Chains A and B, each alone.
Chain A
Amino acid sequence: MVTELANEKSAYSSALRDLMKVSGEPSWLRELRGSSFDQFERVGFPGVEQEEWKYTNVALIKRTNFTPVVNSNGTALSKRNGLAPFIYDETRDSTFVFVNGIFRDDLSSCNGLSGVVALDLNDALQISEYERVIRASLERNADGDNNGFELLNTALFAGGLFVKIPRGVNLSTPIQLQFVSEPVKGESPAAAFPRVLIVGEENSAATIIESYRATAEGVYLTNAIVDIVLDEGARFQHYKVQRESAGASHIATTRADLGPKASYDTTTINFGAALSRHDIHVTMDHEGASCSVDGLYMVEGSQHTDTHSVIDHRQPHCTSRQLYKGILDGKSRAVFNGKVFVRHGAQQTDAQQTNKNLLLSSEAQIDTKPQLEIYADDVKCTHGAAVGQLEPDELFYLESRGINPALAKNMLTYGFAGEVIEKIQIESIRRELDEAVLNRLHSDLTIDV
C-alpha cells in the first residue's frame, strides 16, 4: 500500500516537474499548478466516506499506476485515418481533436468556422487579452472546494483549448471537441487531463459537441474539465457524449457560468467506461438566465455511472429545467444526485427537476437523490425521481404483433429514452443514440422509416 502510494505520487509529481520545465508559462499558472498539486497531495482522491462520493468508489483509480500524458506524443491517427468514425456529419469542418487530452491542431479541421477564436491554451496565454480571461477562470475555480480529480487536472493539464465566440456571432455550424484515447506504447495505462475553456461573448450563439471515444479497448483514465462562461444574452447548446472504452474510467467536470439573460441547454449522454462520474455545475448569478440540463445514462454489465448535478439559482428571474433518464441492465449501478439551490433573494425562480430510471434487470441498482434547497419565498420549483421496470402488458402487446421478446424490450427501452433523444437538435447524435439504444441487445434490426 505504501509502495503503491509512492508510485502514484511519483508518476503524478514527475509529470508536474515535466510541465514546470515548459518555457513560457506565466508564473501565476506555475504557482497555480503547484498549489493545486500540493492540495491534491493533502486531500488525495475522494473516498466513499465523503458524502459526495458515497456511492462511487474510485479505489481502482487510486491503485492503478497511470502515466499522465503531459506531452504531445506520436499518434497513429491522421485526418484521413482512424478519426472519421468519431466525427459527426455536421462537424466535418469544425472539429477540434485531442489525443489523450492534448489538443492536436494537426488533426483538427476548422475550415467551417469563421469568426471564432480557437487556440491552444498555451498560445492563448501569450495574448494578454485572453490571458486575463483564462486566469480569471482558472483562479476563480481554484477557490472552490475542488475535489482531488479537479485539483489534479489543474495541476497537470497540458495542451488544452481556448475557444471564444465573439460578441454577436451566431454560429450555425456546431463545434465538435473530439477527445480520443489512444494507447501509449510501452507505458502503463494513460491518464489524460483534457482542459477546455469556452467563452461566449455578449449575444453570441453556438453549439458545442463534446465527445469521448477510444481507438482501442483498454484501461485508461480521462479526467476532464470543461468550463463555459457566457456573457449577457449568449445562447449555447452543449452536448456531451461519453462512449469511452469498456475498461476506462471517465471523470469529468462541466462548469457553466451564465450571464444576464444567457441561456445554456445541455444534454449529457453516458454510455461508455467501466466507471464514469460527471459533475455538472451551472451557476446563474445574473438575472434572467435560463438553462436546461438533461441527460441519458445507459449502462449494463458491471458498469458504474454517477452524475452529480448542481443548478445554482443565485439571482431572480432565472429558469432551469432538468430531465435525466437512466437505463440500467445487468449488474450495473447508477447514481444521480441533483441539487437545485435557490439562494436568498432569487425570487421568481422557476425550476423543474426530474430523474427517471428504468431497471432492466433485478441486479441493477440505482441511487437517486433529487435535492431542492430553497432560501427564497416567491419561487416555483418541482422535483421528482422515479424508478421502474418495463410493463409486462406493453411487452405482450409488441410480442402479440410477432416481435420477438428481445426486440420488444429494446423498443420499449427506446421509447423510454425517447423523451431525451428527441430533444437533441443534432441529427447525427440522435441517429447514433437510436442505433445504440435499439441495438442494445444486438438484435438484428433496421427500423428507419
Chain B
Amino acid sequence: MLEIRNLHASVDGNEILKGINLTINKGEVHAIMGPNGSGKSTLAKVLAGHPSYEVTGGEVLYYGKNLLDMSPDERAREGVFMAFQYPVEVPGVSNAQFLRLAYNEKQKHLGQEELDPLEFKDLLKEKAALVEMDASFMTRSVNEGFSGGEKKRNEILQMAVLDPKLSVLDETDSGLDIDALRIVAGGVNKLHDPEKAVIVVTHYQRLLNYIVPDFVHVLSAGRIVKEGGKELALELEERGYDWLKNGANKHTAAPVAS
C-alpha cells in the first residue's frame, strides 16, 4: 500500500527527515515512536502533504502512485487520512456541514453516490456512536470550544466518515485522559479491517496497549534507528529512548516490516 524510500524532508531549511525507509501493507498497524524532535510528526505531516514541509529527497509510493505529486485534498480523496495532533477550530461551519461536504467531495471523486442532508444524518449518527459522540456536537462549529478529548474524538469521527485506506494518527493520545483514550482507540480498532492500514505516531507506549501494533519503528534524529514488534514499545517504556540515540543495532528481538 505504502512504500517510503529514502525520504528526506525539511522545514524552514532544517532537514528533519534524513532518509526514511518504510513499507506498509494493507491490514497492518505500524507504530512510529521516538523522542521529541525525532521527526515522527514531520513524517505524518509529509504524508498528508502539509505545505510547510519540503520534501528534499526520496519518494513515497501509494498504491504504486507518487503520493508526493498529489495535493493534500487529492490525497484525502484517494484515502489518506491524518488525525491531527492539534485539530483546528473552524468557527461558523457546523461539524455536520463540514463532514458532509468532505464526504461528498470524496464520493464525487470516486464516482459514488453523494448523500443529501437527511441521508447523511443517518450515516453520521452511526459513525458518531463509534466514538460515543453526542448529537449536539454535530450542530456545533467544527472543534470550536471542544475540549482536548472532544477534538481528538472528532478526529476519529472524521476518520470514520471518510473511511480512509491509510490512517495516520499523529500523537492522538496527547492530552487524553484514560477514558477518552479508550474511546478513541476503540473507535480506531472498530474501523480497522484487512484492507486498511494504520500508522500510529506516539511518544508513549500507553496508546499501544489499546491499538496494538504489528510493527514498531523508532525514529531518532530523522532516521529509523530500531524496528521490532509490539514488545519493543514495552521495552522503550521501561528503558526510555536514550540507549537508542547513538545508533544501536537496528534489528533486534522482533520481526521487521517487510
Separation in Å of the A407 CB from the closest CB of chain B?
Answer: 7
B145 interface residue per 8 A CB criterion: no
A401 interface residue per 8 A CB criterion: yes
Contact B91–A407 (Cβ < 8 Å): no
Contact B77–A402 (Cβ < 8 Å): yes
A389 interface residue per 8 A CB criterion: no
Minimum CB distance partner of A394 in chain B? B88
B221 interface residue per 8 A CB criterion: no
A392 interface residue per 8 A CB criterion: yes
A404 and B77 alpha carbons, distance in the complex (Å): 10
Binds B, one of A34-42, A96-104, A216-224, A417-425: A417-425
Given contacts A400-B49, A400-B76, A400-B82, contact A419 B100 (CB under 8 A): no
Contact A412–B94 (Cβ < 8 Å): no
A447 interface residue per 8 A CB criterion: yes
A411 interface residue per 8 A CB criterion: yes
Contact A396–B105 (Cβ < 8 Å): no
A408 and B49 alpha carbons, distance in the complex (Å): 15
Separation in Å of the B133 CB from the closest CB of chain A?
Answer: 16
Q: Find B51's partner among A396, A403, A414, A417 (CB 8 Å cutoff).
A: A396
A448 interface residue per 8 A CB criterion: yes
Separation in Å of the A421 CB from the closest CB of chain B?
Answer: 7
Q: Find B102's partner among A391, A401, A421 (CB 8 Å cutoff).
A: A401
Given contacts A404-B73, A449-B120, contact A396 B50 (CB under 8 A): yes
Separation in Å of the B201 CB from the closest CB of chain A?
Answer: 15
Residues of B within 8 Å of A405, CB to CB, are 71, 73
Given contacts A401-B162, A405-B73, A449-B120, contact A418 B91 (CB under 8 A): yes
A399 and B120 alpha carbons, distance in the complex (Å): 20
Contact B88–A447 (Cβ < 8 Å): no
Measuring CB to CB, which residues of chain A are less than 8 angstroms from any residue of chain B? 391-394, 396-405, 407-408, 411-412, 414-419, 421-422, 445, 447-449
Residues of B within 8 Å of A396, CB to CB, are 48-51, 72
Interface core residue of B49, B90, B96, B106 (most chain A CB under 10 Å): B90
Interface core residue of B52, B97, B101 (most chain A CB under 10 Å): B101
A415 and B72 alpha carbons, distance in the complex (Å): 21
B117 interface residue per 8 A CB criterion: yes
For the complex of A and B, the 4 pairs showing the least CB-CB separation, nearest first, are A418-B92, A415-B92, A402-B76, A397-B88
B158 interface residue per 8 A CB criterion: yes
Contact B51–A394 (Cβ < 8 Å): no
Given contacts A392-B51, A416-B92, contact A407 B101 (CB under 8 A): yes
Minimum CB distance partner of A395 in chain B? B51
Contact B97–A403 (Cβ < 8 Å): no
B98 interface residue per 8 A CB criterion: yes
Contact residue range for chain B?
35 or more
Separation in Å of the B110 CB from the closest CB of chain A?
Answer: 10
* Given A419-B92, A447-B97, 11 new contacts (CB under 8 A): A392-B51, A401-B102, A401-B158, A403-B101, A404-B105, A405-B73, A407-B105, A418-B93, A448-B97, A449-B100, A449-B117
Minimum CB distance partner of A448 in chain B? B117
Separation in Å of the A358 CB from the closest CB of chain B?
Answer: 12
B109 interface residue per 8 A CB criterion: yes
B241 interface residue per 8 A CB criterion: no
Residues of A within 8 Å of B76, CB to CB, are 399-403
Minimum CB distance partner of A391 in chain B? B88
B56 interface residue per 8 A CB criterion: no
Given contacts A412-B90, A417-B92, contact A403 B105 (CB under 8 A): yes
Residues of A within 8 Å of B50, CB to CB, are 396, 400
Which chain B residues in 78-128 approach chain A with CB under 8 Å? 81-82, 84, 87-88, 90-94, 96-98, 100-102, 105-106, 109, 117, 120-121
Q: What are 14 A-B contacts defined by CB distance under 8 Å?
A: A394-B88, A396-B49, A399-B73, A400-B50, A402-B102, A402-B105, A402-B106, A404-B105, A411-B101, A418-B92, A419-B92, A421-B92, A448-B117, A449-B117
Separation in Å of the B107 CB from the closest CB of chain A?
Answer: 10
A401 and B81 alpha carbons, distance in the complex (Å): 7
Residues of A within 8 Å of B52, CB to CB, are 392
Interface core residue of A392, A394, A449 (most chain B CB under 10 Å): A449
Given contacts A403-B73, A405-B73, A448-B117, contact A422 B92 (CB under 8 A): yes
Separation in Å of the B93 CB from the closest CB of chain A?
Answer: 5
A448 and B73 alpha carbons, distance in the complex (Å): 22
Interface core residue of A399, A407, A414, A448 (most chain B CB under 10 Å): A399
A200 and B113 alpha carbons, distance in the complex (Å): 54
Minimum CB distance partner of A447 in chain B? B97
Given contacts A404-B73, A405-B73, A449-B96, contact A397 B90 (CB under 8 A): yes
